[in-house]
Structure 1
Amino acid sequence: MLMNYSSATEFYLLGFPGSEELHHILFAIFFFFYLVTLMGNTVIIMIVCVDRRLQSPMYFFLGHLSALEILVTTIIVPVMLWGLLLPGMQTISLSACVVQLFLYLAVGTTEFALLGAMAVDRYVAGCNPLRYNIIMNRHTCNFVVLVSWVFGFLFQIWPVYVMFQLTYCKSNVVNNFFCDRGQLLKLSCNNTLFTEFILLMAVFVLFGSLIPTIVSYAYIISTILKKIPSSSGGRKSFSTCASHFTCVVIGYSSCLFLYVKPKQTQAADYNRVVSLMVSVVTPFLNPFFFTLRNDKVIEALRDGVKRCCQLFRN
């Protein structure tokens, strides 16, 4: 516990409650999730880059989404795994806390911007297929991805800077497995009203990318129902957007709970669970969403496995 006049130069991550045996079980589970996340998303990036059948805007965006999933889980999970192996609380310096929080928020912001772009891409493909290659050309796709990355990292500079201008004198124990900004606000002895207002800028990111997603899917569903009367044709068309829509639902619902609730400093246990969804579960599931429901990706994976087997045989 800190004295009232001093500010923390390091923090203690409380991590997960429970016994040492429980921590070892959680370590094994999360380590497995992390390895599968790395391998699954890396495989998607590789086949998107190598296979000619996947040289289209949809898979170009998917490759960048997989890269973002690798980043977001790598920013959080290794620190969390190390904390599960340590007895007691884990120490993290103030500078490391700043870097972790900034990268986590910046990568998340970039991911939401990219999900919005992917929704618009699906809209053009479903509602204006004849002009799809003209509208979503290589120059447009590169520009959209570049803007998403630059916007994501620039947007979070000011909120994170304001966040760490606060004085953390109530305590230096963070009730989470990473530098959660809601818990950091709880430790500050300053008036955090203005800071919370700054941090609610996340609302603009969420709804700024959610609006084109909702509008795009409204047009897609309307077009499918009007132009494809057969049930089999409708199911096929819906299935092309199902993977992206599933990721949108999980991602937005989790982050809306974390960052758009009235009080950032409450519900530490719920924050811990939802943070796990964002940083561990969703990156783990995304490769399965985009492979099990996509015939082209499955064919590319099957051909890749055959080529690898032939190389080993030779």
Structure 2
Amino acid sequence: MENTNDIMGINFILLGLLNYTQTHLFFFSEVLMAFLTSLMSNIFTIMLIHMDSRLCTPMYFLLSQLSLMDVMLVLTVVPKMVGNYLMHIRSISPAVGCGFQIFFFLTLEGGECFLLAAMSYDRYVAICHPLRYPVFMSWQLCLRMTFGSWFLGAADGLMQAAATLNFSFCRTHEIDHFFCEAPSLVRLACADTSVFEYAMYVCCVLMLLVPIFLILISYSLILAAVLQMCSNEARKKAFATCSSHISVVGLFFGAAIFTYMRPKSYRSANHDKVVSAFYTIFTPVLNPLIYSLRNSEVKGALRKCMDQCSALSHD
């Protein structure tokens, strides 16, 4: 068995998600459409939030950061996947290609976990302490939570990318995935990776469970406050305010828990690839749709923008 201590000159092979059958060509067109839709909708959401003065609040600033993370996530994974598929090239360089994907993927996934927790706190303050919202959810605190989300995600991404690429790879260099994911790459190492895999598992669990715990606390307090409201109209408004965020949390954490917290005996490469495709390609499409369709302020800003565009086109 070849012992490779230097992987700098050896490219990995991504086996990919799709083949070249008629059915898979159809799925490829769907992936490409989802990618373009995700880019356009999330970029438009960011622009809309920063252009409309009614949306210049901590709540929508956090939403713009979520859209920014989704844009960067699809740009990290999909262009390489599409390029390899179209050009029939499946290789990816270890340090630049794999290192880039592992770092940014974990940074964005980890950052989104904590950002969703920050958004749940924002909803808690808005519903339970509306009169003290400017105090409990100041711009200074909002920026700190945003920076903290990016920092914690980046720290996790940097550590795991550096540790993963530090292994020697003496087995086949074929990665059974459509992008460089740390667990898939570690399986190719010829060294004993049990300690690192355990540490990686603990890290992933903490990155998921800590934000989930904070989200559950926030929504438990919100539910208690809503149940004490006398007005049915106030209850409906409170539930409408939270429903978008709950939907996004359910989609994101449901897929992440299914991927990273299952025992090895229940895991398969095909299942991992399908679930990864869901939360790296299709979930970023759903997030802006969920928030725009269920949020009256976003719909109002969208109508205002369309009216302005219509007025300009008729001038």
**TM-score normalised by the chain length of structure 1:** 0.94
Q: How does 1:148-227 map to 2 (within 5 A)?
A: 148-200=149-201, 201-227=203-229
- Taking the aligned partners of 1:65 and 1:17, their CA distance within structure 2 comes to 28
Instruction: Determine the structure 2 residue equivalent to 1:33.
Output: 34
State the one-letter code of the partner of 1:286.
N
State the one-letter code of the partner of 2:93.
S
Contact 1:105 1:156 (8 Å CA) reproduced: yes
Contact 2:102 2:157 (8 Å CA) reproduced: no
Aligned-residue offset at 1:263: 2.6
2:13 is the alignment partner of 1:15: no
Instruction: Determine the structure 1 residue equivalent to 2:90.
Output: 90
Q: Which stretches in structure 1 are left out of the alignment for 5+ residues?
A: none
**1:156 aligned counterpart, secondary structure:** helix
Instruction: Determine the structure 2 residue equivalent to 1:24.
Output: 25
**1:187 aligned counterpart, secondary structure:** coil
Aligned-residue offset at 1:301: 0.3
2:3 is the alignment partner of 1:5: yes
Aligned-residue offset at 1:37: 0.6
**Bigger mean CA deviation after superposition, 43-52 or 153-162:** 153-162
Q: Which stretches in structure 2 are left out of the alignment for 5+ residues?
A: none
- Taking the aligned partners of 1:180 and 1:210, their CA distance within structure 2 comes to 23
Aligned-residue offset at 1:222: 1.1
Instruction: Determine the structure 2 residue equivalent to 1:283.
Output: 284
Q: How does 1:210-289 map to 2 (within 5 A)?
A: 210-228=212-230, 230=232, 232-263=233-264, 266-289=267-290
**1:246 aligned counterpart, secondary structure:** helix
- Taking the aligned partners of 1:264 and 1:68, their CA distance within structure 2 comes to 32
State the one-letter code of the partner of 2:146.
V
State the one-letter code of the partner of 2:91.
T
State the one-letter code of the partner of 1:211.
F
State the one-letter code of the partner of 2:15.
L
Q: How does 1:54-203 map to 2 (within 5 A)?
A: 54-87=55-88, 90-95=90-95, 96-200=97-201, 201-203=203-205
State the one-letter code of the partner of 1:92.
I
Label 1:32 to 1:11 Cα distance change in 2 as closer, same or farther (>3 A). same
State the one-letter code of the partner of 1:85.
L
Contact 1:37 1:70 (8 Å CA) reproduced: yes
Contact 2:106 2:156 (8 Å CA) reproduced: no
**1:227 aligned counterpart, secondary structure:** coil
**2:12 aligned counterpart, secondary structure:** strand
**2:270 aligned counterpart, secondary structure:** helix
Aligned-residue offset at 1:265: 10
Displacement over 4 Å in runs of 4+: none
Aligned-residue offset at 1:229: 5.2
Aligned-residue offset at 1:264: 9.2
**Bigger mean CA deviation after superposition, 141-150 or 45-54:** 141-150
1:90-112 deviation line (CA, Å, top 9, x unaligned): 00010111111111001111111
**2:228 aligned counterpart, secondary structure:** helix
Aligned-residue offset at 1:17: 4.5
- Taking the aligned partners of 2:153 and 2:3, their CA distance within structure 1 comes to 35
